[in-house]
Each structure stands twice: as structure tokens, then as C-alpha cells.
């Protein structure tokens, strides 16, 4: 039979960069005898995960991956694997959503995959919670969130999520030898090539990003300043939700994020200093145990010693109306991605938002 390596994230550990790089390198991987299959228009295999995930709060994402009918979606994937998986072949799949599977959901998925793969291995990256909370909130804003950050509430949500628990769940199913846990270092944010090299060395593949492209930004999510995040929270009320947008609208939104990143200023957002000791105390013992079980070494020691930078803001800046106007003018510049008079956004154009809640700065 065949073998499968499953990359399960976790979230906010460079998964977008890795997935796009792997999808762009399908021919290179095929030459190495590795299949990175196509399961949707996205470069991930989240469609497979959603056929087993029972969460009720993923309607837009399920629609985007065409998994509103889990049974029908699983039947299509079953037929695809039956046709494409060949004896002795090596497969590679990636979805950070897999880390959300409960033990029964994970067991059911592994039983399904066992029909086609006699060997399943997992590689998973873990990011320290002090950095993960901010990054996760920023990502929610970039995909449409219209509520400002509530640090205490968002921390309370994360307080029940143990990285050690994720690791132990997969080890319990597959065995320690079949699960490779790696530390996501904050230096990877500015050196995606190092992340890719680490991933390749632990999956037995050889993929190189094109030399002409900057691997620190290629296919990665835009990193907005605190001001940019605050502005986008308000602007999202006018824009189509990414999971409801068509390809043209998604392209405009991506250009818009890049432009917002360019025209806003200031330091990035980070967890408030008052919460750092509490977060470290809450997760510290589990993180230490995780590092030990994963094999320890200098990289895990560096992971444990990382601390949030000092030059960050505890809270987003309050945007003055004058500053909002400045940013909107910069975005609507003829050379920019957004023309306030164009009709690319249809009924949800920025200057024509009858369906969308008015942001605070316009009330």
C-alpha cells in the first residue's frame, strides 16, 4: 500500500506559506515520487478534515470547501483516493484544521485513510501561546472579523487549548515514532526559507522556493500594524466576507490587505504585558513537558525562552476620523487596488454599503 505524511499545522505556524509552496511545487514533488493532491481550489486538504469535523460554527468555511453535505463530500474524496492512490506511492497532505479534531473524529479519519495508506505519519508545528493569541486575532480580522479585540475574553478561549494535549492525542493514535513535533520559532516570520528547510528536512522532500521571489513574504499572510488591524476591523463591515466572495473579490481583498499594510504605520499588536506572566504560568508546565516529549534540544530551548518584544502596543490605537480619511484616500489612489467609484464590489461597494453594519467611525 501507500504511505501518507499529514501536516496538521497547528494554526498560525506558517501553514499558508508552506501549503502554497507545496501546491506550486507539485511537479517537483512528483519527480521525487511524492503526491500533493488537489482536493479543492485551495492549496490545502481541509475538505477531507471537514468531512469528519463535527463543529457547528464553520458554515462559511464548509461552504467554501463544498462540505455542507459531509457524506457526499466524503464519497467524492473516497472515489478520488481509490482512483489516484497507487501501491507504494508517497503522499503528502496539509491542513491545520486537523489539529481541531477530537479523538473520536481523528480515529474515524485515520480508519478511513487506512483503506488506502498502510503508513500514516504526522508532522506538527507548535507556536507559543503569547504569540499565537495575537496572531490568531489578526488573522480573524483579515478574514472578516468586525469585533475589536477583547484580550481577556480571547485569552480565556485559548486557556483551554493545550498544545501538549494535541501532541498526546496524535501520539496515542499513531505512536510517538509516527509523530514529529517541531517548534515554530518567531524568527520564521522574517525567514520563511528557514521554515521551509526545516519542514523539508523532517518530511524527506526537497522543495525550494523560486530564487526570484522573496521567501519572507511569498504567499504568507500580510502582517498588519496595530493601526492597520484597527482600520480593517471597521472596514470589514463594508466588504464581502472572504468565504462568500468570488475569485475577483478575493483578488481585490488580497491587494487591499497589502495596500493597508503599506499605508498604515506603527508597531504590531501584541498581547498586553499584564497578561504575559499569567499566560506563561498557565501554559508553562505543559509547554516544558511538550518540549521534552518532542525530543528537546537547542531549538526547543529557544522556543521556551522566547518573549514578546518590548516595542509593541497593548491595545489598538484609537483612529481619529482625520486619520481614517487619510487611509481611505491612500487606498483609493488611482495606482492603488481600491477605487471608491468602481463597481467591482457590486452591492457591497465601500461607498454603497446598504447591507453592511456601519463601522464605529461613521456612526
**Percentage of the chain exceeding pLDDT 90:** 48
Q: Are residues 180 and 234 in the same domain?
A: no
Same domain, residue pair 239 and 166:
no
Q: Are strands 90-94 and 34-35 parallel, antiparallel or unpaired?
A: parallel
Q: Which residue has the higher pLDDT, 240 or 235?
A: 235
- Same-domain check for residues 194 and 331: no
336 three-class SS: coil
User: Domain containing 66 — which CATH number?
Assistant: 3.40.50
Instruction: Render pLDDT for 29-60 as a digit per residue (tens, 0 to 9).
Output: 999 999 999 999 889 999 999 999 987 666 76
Cell of 7: 501536516
Q: Are residues 51 and 112 in the same domain?
A: yes
Helix (H, G, I), strand (E, B) or coil at 251: helix
First to last CA, the chain: 62
Instruction: State whether 87 and 183 are in the same domain.
Output: yes
Structural domain including 341 reads: 226-267+320-362
List, for residues 271-322, the tens digit of each pLDDT value. 887 888 888 899 999 999 999 999 999 999 999 999 877 666 566 667 888 8
Does position 100 have pLDDT exceeding 70, yes or no? yes
Residue 336 maps to a domain? yes
| Any domain includes 142 | no
Judge whether 124 lies within some domain.
Answer: yes
Q: Looking at the structure, tell me whether residues 179 and 230 fall in a common domain.
A: no
Give the Cα separation of 150 and 153 in Å (integer): 5
- Check if the beta carbon of residue 93 is closer than 8 Å to that of residue 6: yes
- For residue 357, pLDDT over 50 is answered with no
User: Measured between alpha carbons, how far is 60 from 210 in angstroms, rounded to an integer?
Assistant: 33
Side-chain-side CA neighbours of 290 within 13 Å: the count stands at 29
pLDDT band at 345 (very low <50, low <70, confident <90, very high): very low
- Chain length of the chain: 363
Is there a single domain that holds both residue 236 and residue 109? no
Instruction: Tell me, yes or no, whether 260 lies in a domain.
Output: yes
Task: For residues 195 and 236, state if they share a domain.
Answer: no
Residue 275 falls within a domain, yes or no?
A: no
Work out how many domains the chain is built from and give that number: 2
Torsional sign, CA 337, 338, 344, 346 = positive
Give SS3 for 313.
Answer: strand
Residues 345 and 235 sit within 8 Å (Cβ to Cβ): no
- Does 38 share its domain with 92? yes
176 located within any domain: yes
Let me know if residue 18 belongs to a domain.
yes
Q: Assess whether 90 and 196 both reside in one domain.
A: yes
Inform me whether the pLDDT recorded for 343 exceeds 70: no
- Rounded Cα–Cα distance for residues 240 and 301 (Å): 43
pLDDT of residue 176: 97
Does 222 score more than 70 pLDDT? no
- Under the banding of pLDDT at 50, 70 and 90, the label for residue 258 is confident
Domain limit, last residue, from 169, 203, 237:
203
> Of residues 260 and 171, which shows the higher confidence score?
171
pLDDT band, very low/low/confident/very high, at 142 (cuts 50, 70, 90): confident
Residues in contact with 214: Cβ distance below 8 Å, sequence separation at least 6, in sequence order: none
Query: Same domain, yes or no, for 121 and 230?
Result: no
Report pLDDT for 356: 34
Instruction: Answer yes or no: is 313 within a domain.
Output: no
Rounded mean pLDDT, 133-153: 80
Question: Same domain for 56 and 194?
Answer: yes
Amino acid at each position: 500500500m501507500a504511505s501518507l505524511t499529514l501536516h496538521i499545522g497547528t494554526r498560525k505556524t506558517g501553514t499558508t506559506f508552506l501549503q502554497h509552496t507545496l501546491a506550486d511545487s507539485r511537479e517537483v514533488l512528483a519527480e521525487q515520487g511524492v503526491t500533493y493532491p488537489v482536493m479543492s481550489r485551495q492549496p490545502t486538504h481541509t475538505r477531507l478534515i471537514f468531512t469528519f469535523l463535527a463543529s457547528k460554527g464553520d458554515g462559511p468555511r464548509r461552504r467554501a470547501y463544498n462540505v455542507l453535505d459531509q457524506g457526499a463530500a466524503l464519497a467524492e474524496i473516497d472515489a478520488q483516493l481509490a482512483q489516484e492512490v497507487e501501491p507504494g506511492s508517497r503522499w503528502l497532505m496539509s491542513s491545520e484544521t486537523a489539529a481541531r479534531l477530537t479523538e473520536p473524529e481523528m480515529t474515524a479519519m485515520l480508519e478511513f485513510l487506512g483503506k488506502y495508506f498502510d503508513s500514516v505519519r504526522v508532522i506538527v508545528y507548535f507556536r507559543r501561546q503569547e504569540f499565537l493569541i495575537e496572531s490568531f486575532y489578526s488573522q480573524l480580522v483579515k478574514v472578516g472579523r468586525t469585533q475589536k479585540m477583547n484580550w481577556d475574553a480571547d485569552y480565556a478561549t485559548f486557556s483551554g487549548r493545550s498544545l501538549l494535549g494535541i501532541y498526546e492525542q496524535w501520539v496515542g493514535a499513531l505512536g510517538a515514532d509516527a509523530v514529529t513535533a517541531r517548534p515554530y520559532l518567531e524568527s520564521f516570520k522574517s525567514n520563511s526559507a528557514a521554515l521551509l528547510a526545516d519542514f523539508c528536512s523532517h518530511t524527506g522532500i526537497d522543495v525550494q522556493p523560486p530564487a526570484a521571489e522573496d521567501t519572507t513574504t511569498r504567499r504568507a499572510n500580510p502582517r498588519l500594524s496595530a493601526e492597520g488591524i484597527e482600520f480593517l476591523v471597521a472596514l470589514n463591515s463594508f466588504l464581502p466576507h472572504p468565504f462568500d466572495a468570488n475569485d475577483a473579490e478575493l483578488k481585490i481583498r488580497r491587494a487591499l490587505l497589502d495596500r493597508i499594510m503599506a499605508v498604515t504605520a506603527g508597531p504590531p499588536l501584541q498581547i498586553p504585558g499584564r497578561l504575559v506572566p499569567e499566560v506563561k504560568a498557565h501554559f508553562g508546565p505543559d509547554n516544558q513537558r511538550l518540549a521534552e516529549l518532542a525530543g528537546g534540544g537547542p531549538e526547543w530551548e529557544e522556543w521556551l525562552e522566547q518573549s514578546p518584544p518590548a516595542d509593541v502596543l497593548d491595545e489598538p490605537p484609537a483612529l481619529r476620523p482625520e486619520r481614517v480619511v487619510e487611509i481611505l484616500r491612500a487606498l483609493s489612489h488611482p495606482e492603488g487596488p481600491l477605487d471608491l467609484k468602481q463597481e467591482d464590489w457590486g452591492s457591497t461597494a465601500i461607498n454603497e454599503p446598504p447591507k453592511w453594519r456601519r463601522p464605529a467611525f461613521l456612526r
